[in-house]
């Protein structure tokens, strides 16, 4: 059995003090949850305050990106060591908004993924097809390529340490959710691809989250699917009660 993992991707929302307050609110609502991994991923500037609020609780801290280099002339980037020093243990890599607006490619995803793994951070690697790709019948090709190229040169042991988030781009922030059947089909495809690039045992262990307009009303039916092991939540993670309700739907 894979432990479900529910992570909040706060994107560019919340100031440091708002972040601390939101973590406090979440903590109070989920303090009795022991069987779901809970992660919040605030903006970099909030991490220190969020870390203080998360300390000693069942809420872990993630970042939204990580540099591929250890240090040096990379203006605007944040290294894995910087994140670790703050108490960060997870990091989102290759979110579709990074791919769409900031030039991320499967190659940069691969480099960042290697840096995260080398530092002992748990990567949450995002993949997902665009609407026009789905409509053109290219979903499978796109997803398999993102997984194979994003995970290139990784050992089976390294792949086992990752979390993958399947986020159909057409479902992110749109209110349009993939149906449980549509999502399950892609999650199974991702798991088959992992079996190909690593092995069946590793493929069976990697958690694959669904993301894209997941909310309390649809979380359970999605996470009840055999290959859906949690969620990466955007909008509904910005309020303690809706995020907590999604976590409880994973129980
Ligand atoms: P959403 O975002 O839940 O607001 O659709 C999910 C994500 O982009 O990670």
Segments making up each domain of the chain, as ranges: 4-249
Backbone angles phi, psi at 68, to 5 degrees: -85, -20
What is the rounded distance in angstroms from the CA atom of residue 6 to the CA atom of residue 177? 17
CATH 3.20.20.70 correct for 4-249: yes
CA–CA gap between residue 232 and residue 203 (Å, rounded): 19
**Count of CA atoms in the C-beta half-sphere (13 A) of 239:** 8
Torsional class of 4: left (φ above 0), alpha (ψ -120 to 50), beta (otherwise):
beta
What's the confidence (pLDDT) of residue 1?
Answer: 86
Taking the C-alpha atoms of 175, 178, 183 and 189 in order, what is their torsion angle to the nearest 10 degrees? Answer: -110
Please, what sign has the CA dihedral across residues 45, 101, 75, 120? positive
CA distance linking residue 166 with residue 209, whole number of Å: 6
Q: What angle do CA 93, 135, 203 make, to 5 degrees?
A: 40
Tell how far the Cα of 169 is from the centroid of ligand 1, in angstroms. Answer: 9
For residue 92, the CA-to-ligand 1 centroid distance in Å is 12
> Which atom of ligand 1 is closest in space to residue 9's alpha carbon?
9
**Distance from the first to the final alpha carbon of the chain:** 13
172, 218, 239, best to mutate for ligand 1 pocket (most atoms within 8 Å of CB) = 172
Size of the chain, expressed as the number of residues it contains:
251
pLDDT tens across the length of the chain (251 residues)? 899 999 999 999 999 999 999 999 999 999 999 999 999 999 999 999 999 999 999 999 999 999 999 999 999 999 999 999 999 999 999 999 999 999 999 999 999 999 999 999 999 999 999 999 999 999 999 999 999 999 999 999 999 999 999 999 999 999 999 999 999 999 999 999 999 999 999 999 999 999 999 999 999 999 999 999 999 999 999 999 999 999 999 99
Neighbours of 18 (CB within 10 A): 15
At residue 109, the pLDDT reads 98
Residue of 37, 104, 133, 167 marked catalytic: 167
Q: What is the pLDDT of residue 69?
A: 98
Burial readout 185-204 (b: 16 or more C-beta within 10 A, e: otherwise) = ebbebbbebbeebbeeebbe
């Amino acid at each position: 059995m894979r432990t479900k993992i529910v992570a909040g991707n706060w994107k560019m929302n919340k100031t440091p003090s708002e972040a601390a307050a939101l973590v406090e609110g979440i903590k109070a609502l989920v303090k009795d949850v022991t069987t779901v991994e809970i992660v919040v991923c605030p903006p970099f500037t909030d991490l220190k305050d969020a870390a203080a609020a998360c300390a000693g609780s069942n809420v872990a801290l993630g970042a939204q990106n990580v540099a591929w280099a250890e240090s040096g002339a990379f203006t605007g980037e944040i290294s894995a060591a910087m994140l670790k020093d703050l108490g960060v243990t997870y990091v989102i890599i290759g979110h579709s908004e990074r791919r769409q607006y900031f030039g991320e490619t499967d190659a940069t995803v691969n480099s960042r993924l290697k840096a995260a793994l080398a530092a002992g951070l748990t990567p949450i690697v995002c993949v997902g097809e665009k609407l026009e790709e789905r409509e053109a019948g290219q979903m499978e090709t796109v997803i398999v390529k993102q997984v194979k190229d994003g995970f290139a040169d990784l050992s089976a042991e390294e792949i086992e340490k990752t979390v993958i988030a399947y986020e159909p781009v057409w479902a992110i922030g749109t209110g349009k959710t993939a149906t449980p059947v549509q999502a399950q089909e892609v999650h199974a495809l991702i798991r088959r691809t992992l079996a190909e690039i690593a092995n069946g045992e590793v493929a069976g262990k990697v958690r694959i989250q669904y993301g894209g307009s997941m909310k309390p009303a649809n979380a359970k039916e999605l996470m009840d699917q055999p290959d859906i092991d949690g969620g990466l939540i955007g909008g509904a993670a910005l309020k303690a009660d809706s995020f907590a309700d999604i976590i409880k739907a994973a129980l």
